[in-house]
Amino acid sequence: MTNTQGWPGFPQRVRIREVGPRDGLQNEDVVLSTAEKLCLLDALGATGLREIEVGAFVRPANVPQMADTAEVFAALRRRPGVTYSAIAPNVVGARRAIAAGADAVQVFLSASESHNRSNVNMGIEQSLANVAEMAAIVRAAGRPFDAVLSVAFGCPFEGDVPIARVLELCGRLLDLGAGQLTLGDTTGMGHPLLVRQVVIAFRERFPRQPLRLHLHSARGAGLANILAALEQGVSDFDSSVGGIGGCPFAPGAPGNLCTEDLTHMLHEMGVETGLDLAALMDAARMLETMLGHTVPSQTIKAGICKHLTG
């Protein structure tokens, strides 16, 4: 294990939001039952995670894997200190999320016009007006909302996304009251240099604003991009149990960052997460059984390094 105390600016502790139950399962052909989802959520809650994305309030016809999100929230065994969140693409979804008892609501906007239309069937300006209405609903209910800016590191339809556009949209989301911003590498087009450039630009523009990154491993750069972000002091990340999932509304979007692989790397580097890695691996193995196929996680295949040497 490496000690990171001598690494200037490197965070000593990282907070991970688990998105597998939503962003992971939404891209699976197998639709888990409500009981299976509850079992998975309970296993994840036992790992020390403090933020878990439970599901999405979207049209069942578009994302049938999320059709029972309200039922999942209703039967969820909540653990003290854990924030159980949901995503909502519109006002109707926000109202449903609040009614279901979501502790926090994530609203989505894309950094490119093409992806925004593919993802939520509206242009960016229309989405911003929609977000304003959603923000009012969420705030009136006393819940925080986290604005997620998708394809912030590249769009599968338009290619490079100007950093200036990313910052402009971040500013507009903050003006609407977003408590936290998440920048998403939705289709895994980012690389370490770009991640570094975006984070530096964000910090210069919004020096006091918390930042979370949602990075993918579609092209194998996920953990390298994490390292680039860590070097700039970022300490909040999304990841998915087993490494499952991706965006069903964009080409080339598989490859969520794997929670066990991320946690193992951080622990080996001496970065605290508060997570029980063995319990995470058990949850990933259980998920494999539920899905009926292997998951991308490398750690459940290779094992924990310190266990190999005793």
Catalytic residue IDs? 247
The CA distance from 304 to 65, in Å, is: 32
Cβ atoms of 115 and 155 within 8 Å: the answer is yes
Look at residues 98, 90, 40, 99 and name the one whose alpha carbon lies nearest to residue 65: 40
Distance CA 24, CA 271 (A): 25
DSSP annotation of 20: I
Considering Cα of 61, then 65, then 70, then 71, what sign does the dihedral take? positive
CA-CA distance, 208 to 148, in Å (whole number)? 18
- Best CA proximity match to 74, nearest among 49, 46, 97: 97
**Three-class SS state of 294:** coil
- Annotate 62-126 with DSSP letters as a single string: T-GGGTTHHHHHHH--PPTT-EEEEEESSHHHHHHHHHHT-SEEEEEEESSHHHHHHHHSS-HHH
